[in-house]
Amino acid sequence: MPTVAFYTLGCKVNFYDTEAIWQLFKQEGYEQVDFESTADVYLINTCTVTNTGDKKSRQIIRRAVRRNPDAVIAVTGCYAQTSPAEIMAIEGVDLVIGTQDRDKIMTFVNQIQTDRKPVNAVRNIMKTRDFEELDVPDFSERTRAFLKIQEGCNNFCTFCIIPWSRGLSRSRAAESVLEQARKLVASGYKEIVLTGIHTGGYGDDMENYNLTSLLWDLDKVEGLERIRISSIEASQIDDAMIDVLNRSSKMCRHLHIPLQAGDNTVLKRMRRKYTTEEFAAKIKRLHEAMPGVAITTDVIVGFPGETEEMFEKGYRFMEELQFAEMHVFPYSKRTGTPAARMEDQVDEEVKNERVHKLIDLSEKMQLQYAKQFVGQVLDVIPEREYKGAPGSGLVMGYTDNYIQVVFEGDESLIGQLCRVKVTEADVNESRGQLVRVLDAKPLPVSAPDQEQELFSFAQERPEAIRLNA
Q: Report the alpha-carbon distance of residue 37 to residue 47 in Å, rounded.
A: 22
pLDDT over 90 percentage in the chain: 84
Alpha-carbon Rg for the chain, nearest whole angstrom, is 23
- Whether residue 447 has pLDDT greater than 60: no
In the prediction, which pLDDT does 389 show? Answer: 60
Spell out where 11-55 has E strands: 31-32, 41-46
Work out the average pLDDT over 239-259: 95
In the prediction, which pLDDT does 465 show? Answer: 26
- Whether residue 463 has pLDDT greater than 70: no
Strand 191-196's sheet: what is its strand order? Answer: 170-171, 144-151, 191-196, 226-229
Tell me how far apart the 2 most distant CA atoms of the chain are, in Å.
73
The pLDDT-based confidence of 451 (bands split at 50, 70, 90) is very low
In the prediction, which pLDDT does 135 show? Answer: 84
In the prediction, which pLDDT does 386 show? Answer: 86
- Whether residue 366 has pLDDT greater than 70: yes
In the prediction, which pLDDT does 142 show? Answer: 65
Q: Report the alpha-carbon distance of residue 188 to residue 53 in Å, rounded.
A: 35
Q: Report the alpha-carbon distance of residue 293 to residue 286 in Å, rounded.
A: 8
Per-residue pLDDT tens for 178-195?
999 999 999 989 999 999
Q: Report the alpha-carbon distance of residue 386 to residue 22 in Å, rounded.
A: 27
Residue 442 per-residue DSSP state: P
Residue 129 per-residue DSSP state: -
The pLDDT-based confidence of 439 (bands split at 50, 70, 90) is low
Residue 30 CA, chain-centre distance (Å), reads 28
Contact 99, 134 (CB under 8 A): no
DSSP 221-265: STT--EEEES---GGG--HHHHHHHHH-TTB-SEEE---B-SSHH
Contact 234, 282 (CB under 8 A): yes
In the prediction, which pLDDT does 464 show? Answer: 31
99-130: string of b/e by CB count within 10 Å (b at 16+)?
Answer: bbbbeebbebbeebeeeeeebebbeebeebee
In the prediction, which pLDDT does 390 show? Answer: 60
Q: Report the alpha-carbon distance of residue 94 to residue 427 in Å, rounded.
A: 46
- Whether residue 469 has pLDDT greater than 90: no
Total-model pTM = 0.87
Mean pLDDT of the chain, nearest integer: 91
- Of 412, 437, 408, 439, the closest CA to residue 423 belongs to 408
User: How many residues are listed for the chain in this entry?
Assistant: 469
- Whether residue 202 has pLDDT greater than 80: yes
- Whether residue 363 has pLDDT greater than 50: yes
Work out the average pLDDT over 346-361: 97
Q: Report the alpha-carbon distance of residue 256 to residue 359 in Å, rounded.
A: 17
Q: Which residue has the higher pLDDT, 361 or 416?
A: 361
- Of 226, 303, 292, the closest CA to residue 259 belongs to 303
Q: Which residue has the higher pLDDT, 172 or 467?
A: 172
Work out the average pLDDT over 152-162: 95
Per-residue pLDDT tens for 47-61?
999 889 999 999 999
DSSP 264-301: HHHHHHHT-S--HHHHHHHHHHHHHHSTT-EEEEEEEE
Per-residue pLDDT tens for 301-345?
999 999 999 999 999 999 999 999 999 999 999 999 999 999 999
Q: Report the alpha-carbon distance of residue 227 to residue 244 in Å, rounded.
A: 11
Helix/strand/coil for 177:
helix
pLDDT over 70 percentage in the chain: 92
- Whether residue 446 has pLDDT greater than 50: no
In the prediction, which pLDDT does 388 show? Answer: 65
Q: Give the HSE-up count for residue 249: Cα atoms under 13 Å, Cβ half-sphere.
A: 18
Contact 35, 9 (CB under 8 A): no
Per-residue pLDDT tens for 100-140?
999 999 999 999 999 999 999 999 999 999 999 988 887 76
In the prediction, which pLDDT does 375 show? Answer: 97
Contact 257, 234 (CB under 8 A): yes
In the chain the domains, ranked by start, together with CATH numbers, are 3-123 (3.40.50.12160), 126-252 (3.30.750.210), 254-372 (3.30.750.200), 377-467 (2.40.50.140)
Instruction: Return the axis-axis angle of helices 105-115 and 12-27, rounded to nearest 10°.
Output: 60
